Amino acid sequence: MLTRTKEILTEAKKNHYGIVAPDFWDLNSARDYVRIAEELNAPILLSFAQAHKHLISLEEAAAVGRLMAESVKAPIALHLDHGEDFDYIRRAIDLGFNSVMIDASMHEFKENVRLTKEVVDYAHAKGVDVEAEIGHVGGTTESPTEMESVANVYTTVEEATAFVEQTGADSLAVSIGTSHGVYKNNKNPELNFQRLQELAANVPVPLVLHGGSGTGDDNLKRCVREGITKVNVFTEFTTAALAHAAKAVREEQLKSYMRVQQAADEGIRSVISHYINLLTK
C-alpha cells in the first residue's frame, strides 16, 4: 500500500523502532523487498537512487515502485534516494515518487539550505515528503578517525536544528561515523553515540542513518534505541545476491540463468528479512 513517508517514520519514531530503506535497481530487487515486507507485515521505504539511473530509467523505477507498493497491504513509500539536482527530483515527484531526498550535504550550510528549501517548497505543494542531509557521510576510503577535523565530519546539533527550521525538511540524514559501501577489513565502524543522543534530543524530525551496510547489528540496534528512525542499506543486498548466485552455480553446476536469478533473489530476501527483524524488534 503506497503510504506517505511522514506517516511511516512518525509512527516508528513514536514507538522506537527502525525502518529499513533498501535501494532497488530492477524489478526483481523491488519485488523481493516488497514481498518480505508483506510477509513480515512491516513498512519499508522502497528506494531508488539517482546514482543507479544507468541501470534503469527514472520512468521505469517509478512504474516498478508504484506497481510493487500498490500490490501489497504493507505500508510502502516510494522514495528517491540521494537526489542530486532539482530537475531530477522534480521529475521523480511528477512521475509518482511520494518521498524524495535532496543531498546537498557537500555544499556549505547556506547553499545546502537554499537547495533543500527549493525542493521542499516544490515537494510539499505536491504532498511529497523530503529528506535532507547535513554532515559528511563519505565512502569507505575515509573515516572520521582518518579525517583531519572530526568537526567537519559529524553533524553538529546547532547546524542540524537550524537547518530543519530553515528548510522545513521532514527527516534528516546525519553523520555519526558511518560510510557508504563496504568497510575496510570488514570491521564495524566506531559510531559517535553521544552525538546521536544530542541530535535526537534537539532535532524534532526523524533522523536517518546512511551507510547501514556493514555497520553491525549491535551498532544498528543501539542507533535505533538512541534516536535513529530510518536506516539505509544497499551494498549488503548486492553482495548477498552475488554470493548466493555464485554458491548455486558452484554447488548445483547450474546452466540455467533463471535458477541463477532465483538464487540471487534468495540472497536479497535473506538480507531484507534480517534487517526488518533487527530494526523492528
Q: Which three cell numbers stand for residue 234?
A: 544497499
Q: What is the DSSP string of 253-281?
A: T---HHHHHHHHHHHHHHHHHHHHHHHH-
Nearest to 133 by CA among 182, 181, 96, 83: 83
Question: How far apart are the C-alpha atoms of 157 and 195, rounded to whole Å?
Answer: 8
215 CB-near residues (< 8 Å, 6+ apart) = 178, 188, 189, 191, 209, 223
Q: Which three cell numbers stand for residue 76?
A: 510502502
**From start to end of the chain, where are the E strands?**
19-22, 44-49, 76-83, 99-102, 129-134, 171-174, 207-209, 228-233
Which of the residues 23, 32, 81, 265 is marked catalytic? 81
Active site residue 81: yes
Question: How far apart are the C-alpha atoms of 213 and 180, rounded to whole Å?
Answer: 8
Q: Say if residues 63 and 71 touch (Cβ distance below 8 Å).
A: no
Show the 3-state SS of 45-86: EEEEEHHHCCCCCHHHHHHHHHHHHCCCCCCEEEEEEEECCH
Question: How far apart are the C-alpha atoms of 113 and 133, rounded to whole Å?
Answer: 10
Question: How far apart are the C-alpha atoms of 160 and 250, rounded to whole Å?
Answer: 49
Known catalytic residues? Answer: 81
